[in-house]
Amino acid sequence: MTRVKICGNTRLDDARQAVEAGADLLGFIFYPRSPRKISLGDARAISRVLRGQAILVGVFVNEPIEAVEAALAEAELDLAQLHGEETLATVAAFGGAAFKAMKRAMVAGASAEEYAGAGPTDPRLPQLLLDADHATLYGGTGQRADQGLAATLARQHRLLLAGGLTPDNVAAAIAAVQPWGVDVASGVEAEPGIKDHTRVSRFIDEVRRSR
């Protein structure tokens, strides 16, 4: 089964609908410059309602280890997604409670293998995420990731495929890449940070039909 992560949640109503539609993971973005950023208090309010119904993921960009650990605890989340230029040592410091988001330019030599090895050992959790390249933005761009690279990584690791996915193209992306899971934010929004419930349901339905 291809897992689904609905990312960039800012409202309980949106997060609840995503879970009811079949989402396996929910993402909460704490990067201050993101249009989908959420406060720790608001994330905690959502997590207390939906705990146990989905894996709850905090998304961080180049934050100190201590700050990420404190945020996970305060917001009562399960897992950290490190979406900046975090080092292998940073990922390893979380002891399997964090996974790395990578872009094409970051995947060199054995780096993907090493980052995946430092990630979660639990088969219910992703080891890596591959997103689209962008010179200045950390995700949410609507641009597509390198599917050839993604397919290579997906054969070796539990890969979340992100970058430009929508209800209209996710089935083809799954067929081409065969990822462990797919991750969407802008592709199911009415506006940044506000989900379009019809698009969320369509996206998840397309994924389920692509098993």
The residues annotated with a catalytic role in the active site are 7, 131
Q: For the chain, give me the number of helices (H) and strands (E)?
A: 8, 10
Ordered DSSP codes for 95-111: TTSEEEEE-GGG--TTH
Q: Tokens at residue 95, please?
A: 């002891």
Are 197 and 166 within 8 A, CB to CB? no
Are 141 and 132 within 8 A, CB to CB? yes
Are 205 and 170 within 8 A, CB to CB? no
CA–CA distance, 127 with 201 (Å, rounded to integer): 25
Q: Tokens at residue 104, please?
A: 């094409």
